[in-house]
Amino acid sequence: MTGETMSDARELIPAAAAAVTDLVERIPADAWDRQSPCEDWTVRDVLNHLTGEHLWAPRLLGGETVEQVGDAFDGDVLGDDPVAAWRSAQTSSVLAFGAVTDDDQQVSVSSGSIPVREYASQMLVDLTVHAWDLARGAGVPVSLVPEAVDECLGYANRTTSGGGVEGIFGAPVSTDSRDRTDQLVALLGRDPAWRG
pLDDT digits (tens, 9 = 90+) for 56-82: 999 999 999 999 999 999 999 999 999
Percent of the chain with pLDDT over 70: 93
pLDDT given at position 163: 54
Residue 114 has pLDDT above 70, yes or no: yes
pLDDT in tens, 119-168: 999 999 999 999 999 999 999 999 999 999 999 999 998 887 655 455 56
Q: Is the pTM of this model over 0.85?
A: yes
Residue 185 has pLDDT above 90, yes or no: yes
Q: Domain 8-144: what homologous superfamily?
A: dinb family like domain (1.20.120.450)
Q: Taking CA 96 as the corner, what is the angle to CA 93 and CA 99, rounded to the nearest 5 degrees?
A: 150
DSSP 3-state assignment of 35? Answer: strand
Mean pLDDT of 96-116: 95
pLDDT given at position 6: 63
pLDDT given at position 151: 96
Residues of 75-111 as b/e, b for ≥16 C-beta within 10 angstroms?
Answer: eebbeeebeebbbebbebbbebbeebeebeeebbeee
DSSP 3-state assignment of 94? Answer: helix
Which class for 30: exposed (0-12), middle (13-18), buried (19 or more C-beta within 10 A)?
exposed
- Longest CA–CA separation in the chain, Å: 46
Residue 48 has pLDDT above 90, yes or no: yes
Percent of the chain with pLDDT over 90: 86
Give the mean pLDDT of the chain. 93
Q: Domain residues of the chain, as ranges?
A: 8-144
pLDDT given at position 7: 75
pLDDT given at position 196: 79
User: Is residue 116 within 8 Å of 100, Cβ to Cβ?
Assistant: yes
